[in-house]
Chain A
Amino acid sequence: MIKFITKKILYGILVLFGVITVIFFLFNVLPGDPATIMLGQHANKESVDAIHKDLGTDRPIMEQYALYLNDLSPISIHDYVNTKSHWYLDPAKYSWKSLMTLGKQKVMVLKVPYLRRSYISKRPVSDIIKETLPETAVLAFSSIVIASVLGIFLGIVSAIRRNSFYDRMSLVLAVLGMAAPSFFVGLIIAWLFGYVLRDYTGLTPTGSLYDIDVWDGEKLMFKNLILPSITLGIRPLAIVVQLMRSSMLDVMSQDYIRTAKAKGLSLYKIIIKHALKNALNPVVTAISGWFAGLMAGALFVEIIFSWKGIGNEVFEALTKNDLPVVMGATLIFATIFVFINIVVDIVYGVLDPRVRFK
């Protein structure tokens, strides 16, 4: 098992390396000069050059790439003497622990990956992500919990009452849920429950996880989570219901279910004990894929409900060509994808002994 996990982690690191490479070269061919972004169209040449020098954008592209990798790697090599060098171990950028010195000027350090700074606000990208990512994660997580719990339950009911009125209705709704664009559904939900029915629901059409209150300062507002997480959860819910239904139907026609019936077990027990565990595998794949997807895809929902998440942040950064923020966020999403995939592989092992012993 440990060997299995180590292998998965090594693969994950390889994938991340690929992602970093693609991100770096992709964003380098995009038009837009960071100096112009920061200083505007009419900046003088000296300040533009200074910015280029500061960012290292005056170096050849391969050196820039090496610098970028060095910045991101937890173990990296830096110059600790020459403050002019791009490789200088700048306390303003990094927080580190020295591992060993290499030669006269170089040192190998263990550090927090450095995602650089926003062109616009000059704040470290890692700070921006630290601030907004949890909000999005909470939103995505609660959506996926709603989608999976409700979806698995409704899917089972659909499978048992196959071809009933309920089953047909759920198919129609599922197609609708999959097809309806989230910004449209979001608007409808916000308007209906946050405005028309606000006296009954007590909800507001917009709001974030934390409200800034004049008296109490930051306040946790869980009720603001309800509407956006439902909106975001509709599409995965629709898919989980249909997937669970077909997976369940498939499992219920298996020989071992017939064996369970011949033992004299009740239908309820057969479903809970014998069918469910077998039917969950494809659903787990779908849910995990969607969870990572929701993190990146919460953008529209965040905008509609003015949720202060990472989607909102990336959207703004994109409109302003603030590349470090976009690159940093993309990298974080990729890391989350890789991490979830490793977790899912482990969950498979728990669910299905055939995977465990392979």
Chain B
Amino acid sequence: MQNDLLLEVRNLVTEFDSDGDVIKAVDDISFTLHRGETIGIVGESGSGKSVTSLSIMQLIPNPPGRISGGEIIYHSKTKGEVDLRRLSEHEMRSYRGNEIAMIFQEPMTSLNPVYTCGAQVMEAIMLHQKVSKKDAREKTLDLFRQVQLPDPERIFRVYPHQISGGQKQRVMIAMAMSCNPSILIADEPTTALDVTVQKTILDLMLKLQKEHEMGIMFITHDLGVIAELADHVMVMYKGKVVEQGSVYEIFSNPKHPYTKGLLACRPPLDKRLKQLPVVKDFMDKDIDGNIVEIPKTVSEAVNSVIITREQREAEHAELYARDKILELSNIKTYFPKTKSFFGKVTEWVKAVDDVSFDVYEGETLGLVGESGCGKTTLGRTILRLNEPTEGKIFFERKDLLRLKPEDMRHLRKDMQIIFQDPYSSLNPRATVGEAIMEPMIVHGILQSNKQRQERVIELLHTVGLEQKHFSRYPHEFSGGQRQRICIARALALNPKFIICDESVSALDVSVQAQVLNLLNDLKREFKFTYIFISHDLSVVKFMSDRMVVMNKGKIEEIGNADDIYNNPQTDYTRKLISSIPKGQLEDIRESMRRKKDNMMITC
């Protein structure tokens, strides 16, 4: 094993200057990586996991950042032991992309939009290897075949914006693999992708690892993903490693409260919970900011909040006796795809194609499907943010499509939407207070601005923020806090009906649990009706009473969320369910057995 050593990180410290303070983003961490091994680094945003990977690549932006301590020893096949920290920028470049390669979280923006996919991969090959243009082209096409891209010749000559997110990530992987690296650093490579695509990418990475005997550093905020992939897990919290061990150890017997929190906060598939356990259930902080453990095991935390089948059935009997709040019949929303010279549409994209369903008062209806299935368009159509091409929408028995613009404006107060990206849906130049107050002023809620201010502060408390946040600007908040602000803004109008469009998809799993709990608490308190849209079936299942599975603009399945999960009727639903990373012990045992079998074969 010793000969297989690839990377030793010893006491690494990376600091950033921020407004006169020095922040230790990575604080004294040590680990090793061997050939053929996958190490999973888990932690929430800001825990220092990305900074760790950038430190190894020597890509910490300086200023404001710098590596201030420790050693990063890389065992090169050709050059022996080198401390990457002591290399000059010029020397380091011959390792980057060549022996240590990296793929990033955002495949959408990680490729240069003005060059073809083929050219970008060829560039990496020709940079590190002395090969002709023709050979580089051949090699690129070969790589595209290896990463299982459909029609490699076409992908070679198209530009990044012409292919899907999953395909882009495959191009990125091809680029990273192009020089046969010893180490592959994958920084949240599947976070921005659909679960179904995530599954195929993870499978691909495992396959490539076996073929090329790489060491992989896999960074993620989601322990579920790690379970199927990693041999060794490192849990990071606030720049420090709080727990390290084999994947089986971590999952079967987590020791640190933070690890327990991470394990418990994923929406479970086999149980139905009233609320999700969060990290705070396992640890508290004393006045000095030190972690105080609350002794509790993961299963204790989960079992204390279970809803039984009988309870749920009773709830549903009461729920479905109520009135319908929203009725959709035969909704079609088409967008023009190609136009003739005179602007006449010759081809349509059928984003929503003949969809009908009802929503009952107080219900949470889940809407699930892959990206591009039309779920977001449907949500926007219900609010008339997109006009449907055909169909009828009744909200509280009022025909929305026949309402006068003025009446529609009044009605908008009852129907709110919470968007996916909390970063771009808040105006950066308006304070939090202004952002929440604006819709109240528009709809003339409350008499004076003073009353409104009081109400905003009340709302901030409701969503778990504080009074002092009123006059702060969005950039001062984390993603989860921003999503809370967006929720408070939606609440400001006392709506009856809220659409959550991928509202938690951009958040870490641990933060996601908090926001989901908040949404549920609010529902109980204010009696909302939700349509909850997400690509993640586990989240939708946790939230919803009934669930609608959408595919290519049409409804695949509709029914009780538990029934659909336990007894899916269509192949598409089965595919969605099977691609959820489950993170169960049996899965880990299974994947370990598979790995061992492979080892036996290669030996």
Contact = CB atoms under 8 A, between A and B. Distances in A.
A262 B111 CA distance: 12
Given A264-B127, A264-B128, A265-B93, A259 B341 contact: no
Interface stretch (A13-21, A121-129, A242-250, A350-358): A350-358
A256 interface: yes
Interface in B106-127: 106, 109-115, 123-124, 127
Nearest to B112: A256
Given A258-B104, A353-B114, A263 B161 contact: no
Given A255-B104, A259-B172, A263-B123, A278 B94 contact: no
A263 B159 contact: no
A354 B341 contact: no
A44 interface: no
A261 B59 contact: yes
B159 A354 contact: yes
Nearest to A351: B114
Contact of A264 (B97, B104, B106, B161): B97
B289 to A, nearest CB: 32
Contact of A256 (B98, B102, B113): B113
A6 B113 CA distance: 26
B95 interface: yes
B200 to A, nearest CB: 21
Nearest to A277: B114
B162 A357 contact: yes
A320 B154 CA distance: 65
B96 A278 contact: no
Given A266-B93, A357-B162, A260 B112 contact: yes
Contacts of A274: 112, 115
A314 B93 CA distance: 59
B110 A255 contact: yes
Contacts of A266: 90, 93
Contacts of B162: 357
A77 B127 CA distance: 65
A255 B341 contact: no
Nearest to A353: B159
A265 B127 contact: yes
B101 interface: yes
Interface in A235-257: 254-256
B174 interface: no
B106 A352 contact: no
A15 to B, nearest CB: 18
Contact of B110 (A3, A259, A352): A259
A354 B161 contact: yes
B533 interface: no
A262 B102 contact: yes
A262 B181 CA distance: 12
A258 B110 contact: yes
B175 interface: yes
B127 A263 contact: yes
Nearest to A10: B341
Q: In this complex, which of B93, B102, B114, B159 has the most chain A Cβ atoms within 10 angstroms of its Cβ?
A: B114
B57 interface: yes
Contacts of B97: 262-265
Interface residues of A, number: 24
Report the interface size class on chain B: 20 to 34
Contacts of A273: 123
A258 to B, nearest CB: 7
A265 B102 CA distance: 14
Contacts of A352: 113-114
B59 A258 contact: yes
A171 to B, nearest CB: 19
B237 to A, nearest CB: 25
Contacts of B93: 264-266
B247 to A, nearest CB: 27
B113 A353 contact: yes
Contacts of B112: 256, 259-260, 274, 278
A229 to B, nearest CB: 31
A278 B113 contact: yes
B170 to A, nearest CB: 14
Contact of A254 (B59, B96, B109, B127): B109
B113 A262 contact: no
Interface string B144-163: 00000000000000010110
B96 to A, nearest CB: 4
A266 B127 CA distance: 10
Nearest to A281: B114
A263 B124 contact: yes
Interface in A313-358: 351-354, 357
Given A354-B113, A354-B159, A357-B162, A255 B106 contact: yes
A276 to B, nearest CB: 10
B341 A3 contact: yes
A357 B158 CA distance: 10
Contacts of B98: 264
Interface string A271-298: 0011001100000000000000000000
B603 to A, nearest CB: 34
B126 to A, nearest CB: 11
B111 to A, nearest CB: 6
A259 B90 CA distance: 17
Contact of B57 (A3, A262, A353): A262
Contacts of A256: 109-113
A265 B112 CA distance: 14
Interface string A124-142: 0000000000000000000
Contacts of B102: 262
A264 B94 contact: yes
B106 to A, nearest CB: 5
A262 B101 CA distance: 7
A299 B261 CA distance: 73
A255 B123 contact: no
A278 B94 CA distance: 26
Q: In this complex, which of A262, A264, A274, A353 has the most chain B Cβ atoms within 10 angstroms of its Cβ?
A: A262
B193 to A, nearest CB: 15
B59 A262 contact: yes
Nearest to B90: A266
A77 to B, nearest CB: 27
Contacts of A264: 93-98, 124, 127-128
B104 A261 contact: no
Interface string B290-324: 00000000000000000000000000000000000
Interface in B67-114: 90, 93-98, 101-102, 104, 106, 109-114
Nearest to B121: A263
B116 to A, nearest CB: 8
B49 to A, nearest CB: 16
Contact of A261 (B90, B96, B101): B96
Contacts of B127: 263-265
B114 A278 contact: yes
A353 B172 CA distance: 19
A265 B110 CA distance: 15
B506 to A, nearest CB: 16
Nearest to A6: B341
Contacts of B128: 264
B95 A259 contact: no
A96 B125 CA distance: 62
A256 B120 CA distance: 10
Nearest to B116: A353
A258 B106 CA distance: 11
9 contacts: A6-B341, A256-B110, A261-B59, A262-B59, A264-B98, A264-B124, A265-B123, A351-B114, A357-B161
| Nearest 8 A/B pairs, CB to CB | A264-B96, A264-B97, A263-B97, A255-B109, A256-B112, A353-B159, A262-B102, A264-B93
Interface of A: 3, 6-7, 254-256, 258-266, 273-274, 277-278, 351-354, 357
Given A254-B109, A255-B104, 13 more contacts: A7-B341, A255-B106, A255-B109, A256-B109, A256-B110, A262-B104, A263-B127, A264-B95, A264-B124, A353-B113, A353-B114, A354-B159, A357-B162
